[in-house]
Amino acid sequence: MNLFKRINDNLRANLNALLDKAEDPVKLLNQYLMDMGDDIADAEGAVARQLVSVQKFKVQYDEALELGTKRESQAMEALQKNREDLARRALEDKKMQLTRAAEYKIHFENARDTAERLKGQLKDMKDEYEQLKAKRDTLSVRAQAAKAQKDLSELRGSFSKDNAKSGFERMQEKIMQMEAEAAVAAEMETGDSLDRELSVLGGSEEVDRELAKLKEKLKADTQA
């Protein structure tokens, strides 16, 4: 009896191919471990049943051997009481019991050997399960790291360095244009202000001349 037989041979043989096609390898590994866990539980049940058989044959062997020994003592007791017929029957049953004991011993030893083999296979299954579980944990970390790297690469692919650089250059040119326009506007505003000041200055001189004329006229009228 091979406890590994119930494990899905196709899954075990094609695990790498399935992982290559799987969108989420970690989920597949988890499912694989769950299947192995179910197989181990079934294997433990099989080992337990085999141990029950071992115990049953052991009891039958011990009982038959004990009864055969008892029949010999009973045959001796019957002879002491001059019951040769009863002694003969006791010895016949002794022979039968020892024959049965020999058969039970063979069954017991075979069952015991099978149980030991099954326990060894069960231990191998559990060892493999623990190894794969540890490997699953390592692969899970590697899968997360690979996914993070892939996501980052995709983001970097959509975020073009050249596009960003040209965009910054365009914005720089636009800002420089805005600064130039602001400087021109400020310069024009300064020119207008100067014209106004000069205009006011010119107007003031004209008023002074007219005022001087009026003063001269007033002086002439007074002297006359």
Q: Where exactly are the structural domains of the chain?
A: 3-159, 163-224
- What was the pLDDT predicted at 129? 92
How far apart (Å, rounded) are the C-alpha atoms in residues 211 and 97?
162
pLDDT score of 203: 54
Q: CA end-to-end span of the chain, whole Å?
A: 156
Maximum distance among all alpha carbons in the chain?
A: 203
Dist CA 147 CA 159 (whole Å) = 18
pLDDT tens, position by position, 144-156: 887 788 777 777 7
Extract the residue ranges of the chain whose pLDDT is less than 70. 1-23, 157-164, 189-204, 207, 224
At 8 the pLDDT is 47
Q: Kindly report the pTM of this predicted structure.
A: 0.55
